[in-house]
């Protein structure tokens, strides 16, 4: 801290200069979102200075544009003669977005600080804003179309394909998931076609929560996030694995709205199963499953063994009951979102996006495909069905699935998904959601 001289003249203002941060070979400074950022001449080209923290910028493949990388020409870095010759400005309309120009780059570039370094690993759930994603600003930037995506772990995980050992879980890169690749492709197409819009694709946190199920959480979670982030479009990504956690429907009583509550009720799960199975929401399903021998009565000191969900999908009557259970909450979600308008006055769009998963069930993929077709049809939910294009192209992108990671889509499968969804969103009828 610098203090004023002791012989301060009468009437002069009191002041003190405090050291609030520091940097290393600072070339330029800019302030945004209550932080001061620095462009630096050295191995750490971009940093916060209050307190000091290097800030990393990512490539489309999840690599970082660090000045010290030996495999890339330096994206950053400044010649000695450039000190003082760097233009650096914070965007006044969007927090943590910056513009920069230097003598070596005859262009103005923009870049953002969304905690890429901290949140690049797709296993990192430290985003406090309800997302399994980078830290996007809560307020939607001008001229931006925001897409909110929900799903299961297929939406939030992507293993990098390699000829050697699989990528350790903690090193899987978020940029390789189809939502991040979709965001990149949409913005690339917008630039090439002179569309004056920016696209952001945000992923809900429940997409990685193993103790939740699509039977319940989307209705309670997605509307709140849509309002919080002012999303223009919301879609739910489903595959053949998205109905496997059907046993979660017995983990809590139904609500006054007639659907499962938002999360498991621990006290309720301690009740005898026969009592829980009598809840109106699941009573008919359990009765038919019990009559056909798919479920057995609770064993003394144990629990009912749960068969693979494919068993129920092969029986028309139990399949119909599962469709009703799944469809009721999702139909209510669709109507709730469609009744809304975002802050610009546009009706919020909602749809379900289906794509085939790796066939590892006891029943054909067609059973799951038809299940989702019927769920959407019976509840007036728009369905973006990726089955035909995905099946036609998955050989070109093979292998599209991990052999060991529970048959999730790998980086190539995610790349294909992003390309197909981008194509659909830019074409009729889906373009009505953003044009």
Per-residue tokens: 270: 């301690």
pTM: 0.88
Q: Is 227 helix (H, G, I), strand (E, B) or coil?
A: helix
Predicted confidence at residue 1, as pLDDT, reads: 40
Q: Over the stretch 323-346, which tens digit does the pLDDT of each residue have?
A: 998 899 999 999 999 999 999 999
pLDDT at 88 over 60: yes
Phi, then psi, of 328 in degrees rounded to 5: -65, -50
**CATH code for residues 129-246+308-433:** 3.40.50.1110
Predicted confidence at residue 297, as pLDDT, reads: 65
Q: 328: closest CA among 263, 376, 278?
A: 376
CB 157, CB 239: distance < 8 Å: no
C-alpha–C-alpha distance, residues 217 and 208, integer Å: 12
- Band (pLDDT 50/70/90 cuts) for residue 153 is confident
Q: Over the stretch 232-275, which tens digit does the pLDDT of each residue have?
A: 999 999 988 777 667 667 777 888 888 878 777 888 878 877 77
Predicted confidence at residue 254, as pLDDT, reads: 81
For the chain, percent of residues with pLDDT exceeding 70? 81
205 contact partners, CB below 8 Å, separation of at least 6: 125, 127, 130, 131, 132
Predicted confidence at residue 423, as pLDDT, reads: 96
C-alpha–C-alpha distance, residues 123 and 168, integer Å: 11
**Which part of the chain is CATH 3.40.50.1110?**
129-246+308-433
Predicted confidence at residue 21, as pLDDT, reads: 81
For the chain, percent of residues with pLDDT exceeding 90? 40
Cα 317 → chain centroid:
35
Predicted confidence at residue 107, as pLDDT, reads: 79
- Band (pLDDT 50/70/90 cuts) for residue 87 is confident
- Band (pLDDT 50/70/90 cuts) for residue 131 is very high
Which of 87-96, 278-287, 371-380, 403-412 has the least mean pLDDT?
403-412
Phi, then psi, of 17 in degrees rounded to 5: -110, 120
Q: Over the stretch 342-401, which tens digit does the pLDDT of each residue have?
A: 999 999 999 999 998 876 666 788 889 999 999 999 999 999 999 999 999 999 998 888
Question: Most distant CA pair in the chain: distance in Å?
Answer: 96
Predicted confidence at residue 10, as pLDDT, reads: 58
C-alpha–C-alpha distance, residues 352 and 214, integer Å: 12
User: What is the pLDDT of the chain when averaged over all its residues?
Assistant: 83
Average pLDDT estimate for 201-224: 79
Angle at Cα 137 formed by Cα 132 and Cα 141, nearest 5°?
125
Of residues 198 and 25, the one with the higher pLDDT is 198
Per-residue tokens: 146: 């925001």
Q: 375: closest CA among 210, 178, 214?
A: 214
DSSP 229-240: HT-SEEEEEE-G
- Band (pLDDT 50/70/90 cuts) for residue 215 is confident
Predicted confidence at residue 2, as pLDDT, reads: 43
- Band (pLDDT 50/70/90 cuts) for residue 60 is confident
């Amino acid at each position: 801290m610098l203090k004023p001289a002791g012989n301060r003249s009468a009437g002069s203002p009191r002041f003190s200069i405090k050291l609030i941060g520091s940097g290393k070979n600072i070339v330029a400074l800019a302030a945004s979102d209550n932080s001061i950022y620095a462009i630096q001449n050295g191995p750490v080209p971009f940093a916060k200075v209050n307190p000091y923290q290097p800030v990393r910028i990512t490539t489309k493949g999840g690599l970082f544009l660090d000045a010290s990388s030996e495999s890339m020409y330096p994206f950053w870095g400044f010649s000695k003669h450039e000190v003082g010759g760097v233009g650096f400005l914070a965007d006044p309309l969007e927090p943590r977005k910056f513009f920069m120009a230097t003598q070596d780059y005859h262009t103005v570039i923009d870049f953002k600080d969304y905690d890429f370094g901290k949140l690049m690993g797709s296993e990192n759930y430290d985003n406090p804003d309800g997302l399994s994603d980078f830290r996007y600003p809560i307020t939607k930037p001008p001229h931006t179309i925001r897409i909110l995506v929900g799903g299961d772990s297929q939406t939030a995980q992507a293993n990098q394909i390699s000829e050697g050992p699989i990528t350790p879980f903690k090193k899987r890169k978020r940029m390789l998931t189809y939502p991040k690749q979709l965001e990149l492709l949409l913005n690339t197409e917008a630039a090439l076609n002179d569309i004056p819009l920016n696209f952001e694709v945000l992923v809900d946190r429940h997409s990685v929560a193993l103790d939740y199920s699509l039977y319940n959480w989307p209705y309670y979670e997605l509307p709140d996030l849509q309002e919080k982030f002012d999303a223009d479009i919301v879609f739910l990504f489903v595959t053949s694995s998205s109905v496997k956690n059907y046993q979660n429907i017995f983990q809590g009583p139904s609500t006054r709205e007639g659907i499962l509550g938002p999360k498991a009720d621990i006290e309720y799960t301690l009740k005898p199963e026969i009592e829980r199975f009598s809840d109106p929401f699941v009573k008919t399903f359990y009765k038919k499953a019990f009559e056909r021998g798919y479920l057995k009565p609770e064993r003394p000191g144990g629990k009912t063994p749960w068969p693979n969900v494919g068993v129920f999908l092969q029986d028309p009557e139990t399949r119909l009951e599962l469709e009703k259970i799944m469809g009721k909450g999702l139909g209510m979600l669709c109507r709730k979102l469609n009744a809304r308008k975002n802050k610009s006055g546009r009706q919020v769009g909602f749809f379900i996006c289906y794509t085939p998963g790796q066939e590892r069930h006891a029943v054909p993929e067609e059973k799951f495909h038809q299940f989702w077709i019927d769920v959407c049809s019976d509840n007036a939910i728009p369905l973006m069905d990726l089955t035909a294009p995905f099946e036609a192209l998955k050989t070109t992108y093979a292998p599209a699935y991990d052999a060991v990671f529970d048959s999730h889509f790998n980086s190539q499968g995610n790349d294909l998904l992003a390309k197909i969804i981008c194509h659909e969103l830019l074409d009729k009828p889906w373009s009505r959601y953003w044009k």
